[in-house]
Amino acid sequence: MYTSKDVVALIVTCNRKDLLEQCLLAVMLQSCGSPCTLVVDNDSSDGTDALLKNIPNVHYIKQANYGSAGGFAKGFSYFAENMSSDLLWVMYDDGVPSPTALEFLLEAVNSFGIQAVNSMVLSPEDHKLTFPLAHLRRSLSPLSHSRLVYGSMSLFNGALISRCVVNAVGNPDPSFFIHGEEVDYFLRIKSKFKVATYPPSVHYHPRKRFPQRPSSEQQISRVCLAVSNRLRYISGLSPLQACVHFMFFSYVFFSSLFSMPCKGKRLLIRACLASLRNDSNFRNILIGRAYVGGMILHASP
């Protein structure tokens, strides 16, 4: 039977010390006990390192800003190579696990033998689903659905992943930088293991939306990066899966295209063509415009 002592909580952060502190506090106050914690810091300059010096049982890694993808890649690699725990509990710094989140995730692992299971992710604003979840209504209460929802996860928002999954699937792809690495990793897990969401376990994460009409260079670049990254994981799918994902990509692409000024339309088309060519140089330029100081990490750290 797994307990919190068998868990490492991985949190990726970048210049969000106050949010990180809330997340850490929620992890430490879990009903089943506080797990060991690993924080990967993407070059924060807001005093994050000073904050973590005074918190026990926290492993801290600071690196250049390789985005959330590079942060998770580093965390997964460190977990696999330097830690002996069997389970990795993964989250962003702006997420907050409920007090019983880990208790119920462990229940799912111990009772059902699932190797990759996610909390149900709710918006703190209205306690409705933050992300769409198969077979569940957005307004569903977590306590009204106590069975595993197979085939669905909301990586990396309160996901509990076993060491055997990490060993078999490897690390998240750091070259995504941000946007898409979670979908890519989910599809890679799903191709080898059963995946599920366990609704009694709740993880809070705000809904995030891009501006309806991006206008600044930074806003346009972020939208272009997010949309074009969708093309990168479609190529590795089966024909049926690729068709479904491409249909959704087409909807997102044209919606974004029509919402942008002319310069944004041209950039979006160039970004998508660069993704199809796997042009990392252009993607690096795009990342530099969208996230100042950001850079692609081409190999797992």
270/193 Cα distance (integer angstroms):
36
Contacts with 139 (C-beta within 8 Å, 6 or more apart), sequence order: 128, 129
pLDDT at 293: 61
Above pLDDT 70, what percent of the chain? 92
Out of 163-167, 196-200, 206-210, which region has the weakest mean confidence (pLDDT)? 206-210
158/118 Cα distance (integer angstroms):
6
Residues 115/160, Cβ–Cβ less than 8 Å? no
104/272 Cα distance (integer angstroms):
40
Residues 179/233, Cβ–Cβ less than 8 Å? no
Which residue intervals of 139-279 are DSSP H helices?
A: 163-169, 181-190, 217-234, 239-259, 262-277
pLDDT tens digits along 61-71 = 999 999 999 99
* Structural domain spans, the chain: 4-204, 217-290
Residue 181 phi, psi dihedral angles, 5° rounding? -65, -30
Judge whether residue 163 has pLDDT over 50. Answer: yes
pLDDT at 238: 82
Most confident of 140-144, 216-220, 288-292: 216-220
Q: How many CB atoms lie within 10 A of CB 23?
A: 24
Q: Is the model's pTM score more than 0.75? A: yes
pLDDT average, residue stretch 211-225: 88
Distances (CA, A) of 6 to 19, 58, 153, 191, 200: 25, 15, 21, 25, 20
Residues 43/20, Cβ–Cβ less than 8 Å? no
103/81 Cα distance (integer angstroms):
26
CATH class of the domain comprising 4-204: alpha beta
Higher pLDDT, 240 or 211: 240
Distances (CA, A) of 12 to 20, 69, 160: 9, 9, 15
pLDDT tens digits along 15-70 = 999 999 999 999 999 999 999 999 999 999 999 999 998 888 999 999 999 999 99
